[in-house]
Amino acid sequence: MGISQFIGNRVEKSNISCKTFLVTVFGDVISQHGQWVWLGSLIEVLSNLGYSERLVRTSVFRLVKDDWLQVKKVGRKSYYSLTENANNHYTKAARRIYSATRKHDDDRWLIVIPSFVDETQLVQFKRQLKWLGFSSLASGVYAHPFADRSSLNATLKELNLQNSVVVLSAKITDKNSLAVLKKQVHEKWNLNWLDDQYSQFFNTYQKQYDLIKKEKNKISSEQSFLVRLLLIHEYRRILLKDNELSSSMLPIDWSGYKAHSLSKDLYALLSKQSQSYIVNSLKNIDGCLPKASAEFNDRFRH
């Protein structure tokens, strides 16, 4: 399958909603290029993936209602940016999506017990924990291996729950406990399904990587941009369901490792041409979008 055919079919084949894909566009691209973008640019870009103008407008409207996007009107044109709330979510997710490596040997766990979180906040707090990669280990106990404490701290501060939650650092003390926990995690967290998702992702994008590397001078800047968006969207969709277990808890041939390595390599391969398309084709209030921020250069390096 050629690049054009892959781009044309991927949204439908993977059942990618316009609304969730827009979140990827703002997180992966617009956040790094001045924060704001003209709606007309979004409509044009997404039309190449089969999304109609009406669907884009409806999806943007829903994201504004959900407090993910904010709007600024200048004359008859509308410009959009992530809200502060959405940007906080993006920052936490980005630490995981663009990390330099996925493999680690640290068997420490971060345990969260929402002891004094009232019912009105508990649902939202659980949703935030899931977004960070925490899962239920037992009733009222949420765990994450090798968690980024800064993201958890930011969430507790945002929800004003610093004095309502118990946070513990734990370490497995013996081989028997490790074996029991490994069995529990595999059964409770559905790792076979996750491994299969990573494997399918790898097989799909490895073919595109090989094709692009072979025909590097034949792929256009627009195609590079669209493949980059599809890559990150599909990788993010799986990764944010992953609990980042240590190597001792995972199979030796865990598909998540090769999926991350491929994402890192393909993203780098597409980076230069995709950025050329972004700064020459997407518009904001001042005209073309600015070059990427310095933060962009750290992706997949830290």
- In tens, the pLDDT along 241-276 reads 887 788 878 888 999 999 999 999 999 999 999 999
Residue 147 has a pLDDT of 61
Answer positive or negative: Cα dihedral of 12, 16, 18, 22. negative
Q: Strands of 108-113's sheet, edge to edge?
A: 135-138, 141-145, 108-113, 166-171
Are residues 19 and 26 in contact, defined by beta-carbon separation less than 8 angstroms?
A: no
Q: Which fold has domain 3-85?
A: Arc Repressor Mutant, subunit A (1.10.10)
Residue 113 has a pLDDT of 95
β-strand pairing of 69-74 with 166-171 = unpaired
* Structural domain 108-171, CATH architecture: 2-Layer Sandwich (3.30)
Are residues 80 and 34 in contact, defined by beta-carbon separation less than 8 angstroms?
A: no
Question: What is residue 284's three-state secondary structure?
Answer: strand
pTM reported for the whole predicted model: 0.88
Q: Which residues does the chain have with pLDDT short of 50?
A: none
H-helix segments, 48-190: 53-65, 84-97, 119-132, 149-158, 175-188
Calculate the CA 132 to chain-centre distance: 11
First to last CA, the chain: 34
Q: Which helix (H) or strand (E) holds 14?
A: helix 3-14
Render the burial of 92-121: b for 16+ CB within 10 Å, e for the rest.
bbbebbbbeebeeeebebbbbebeebeeee
Residue 154 has a pLDDT of 87
Residue 207 has a pLDDT of 95
The domains of the chain are located at 3-85, 108-171, 189-278
Residue 268 has a pLDDT of 95
